[in-house]
Amino acid sequence: MLVSIKQEASEIKYRDFWLEDIIEKLINRILFNMKHLVKIWDSPTRLFHWGLVLLFGFMWFSGETGNYLDLHMKAGMLILSLILYRIIWGFIGSSSARFSSFISPIGAIKHALTLFKRDPEIHAGHNPLGGLMVIALLIMLALQASAGLFSSDLVLTEGPLFNLVDEETAEEMTDFHHLGFNVLLFLTGLHVAAIVFYRVIKRTNLLKPMITGKTVWPEKTPEPKLIFKSPLLALFVLILSVVAVFGSVTYLSNL
């Protein structure tokens, strides 16, 4: 009887210890994340990113299926507007959004040499290799959308600036528009593969900060001193960009 009581008490004590250990670990994890959670992305940059993703997805769907081609044209002009906005924001925007914070050919080479080390990497924005991908995507999207303005399927649909070029040029633009889309698919696949690579190999989550704007910063690493610009300034730049692109295309299409 005494042995049974001692065993039961031992089991209760073990369960209590196990429960306390779990609670302590959860509390430590929550406190750690709260203590070292650092904002690295502003809301305008994140909205730009996910807006571009949605527009690209719609362009893919409408281009492949032949549906909503009128909206396809408008979406292409919106993409050009977003790219113009991102270029301006890359010079006057928040610290992590500025091109000067992540464009570095030498930095990209140094980063590439450490690519397969499993140590987690935290950057206050894009790392140098990611910066090169950003530039490549922006350039290719701009070329792709611009070519679409002059393209034609020679049956039902013409770009708004089709009348400004001869038939041969329009055909070349159309061919480039189709080729450019395949290049964009390749770059997008490479971009997604890089995110998975960093999550699995480098143990670095690149996706979550682009959703929440924040990342868990290493305890012994000084926090970055970032300056975040007003979302109202970003909204003004976006409106200016949309007016510039749509206004220019409308004006040129009426020549």
Alpha-carbon span 56 to 67, nearest angstrom:
15
Which residue has better confidence, 98 or 28? 98
The CATH number of domain 43-214+225-253, selected from 1.10.3470, 1.20.950, 3.30.160, 3.30.870: 1.20.950
**pLDDT score recorded for residue 31:** 47
Q: What is the mean pLDDT of the chain?
A: 86
128-175 residue pLDDT tens: 999 999 999 999 999 999 999 999 876 677 889 998 998 889 899 999
**pLDDT score recorded for residue 17:** 47
Alpha-carbon span 103 to 133, nearest angstrom:
10
Task: Count the neighbouring beta carbons within 10 Å of the beta carbon of residue 40.
Answer: 24
Alpha-carbon span 195 to 115, nearest angstrom:
13
111-137 residue pLDDT tens: 888 888 877 778 888 999 999 999 999
Interval 45-52 mean pLDDT: 96
Beta carbons of 250 and 74 less than 8 angstroms apart: no
Residue type at 145 in one-letter notation:
A
**pLDDT score recorded for residue 185:** 94
214-247 residue pLDDT tens: 988 887 788 889 999 999 999 999 999 999 999 9
Interval 42-52 mean pLDDT: 96
69-85 residue pLDDT tens: 889 999 999 999 999 99
Q: H or E element: which one contains 54?
A: helix 43-65
Q: Is the pLDDT of residue 63 over 50?
A: yes
Q: Is the pLDDT of residue 13 over 80?
A: no
Q: Where are the domains of the chain?
A: 43-214+225-253
Q: Is the pLDDT of residue 204 over 80?
A: yes
State the pLDDT confidence band at 22, using cuts at 50, 70 and 90: low
**pLDDT score recorded for residue 33:** 45
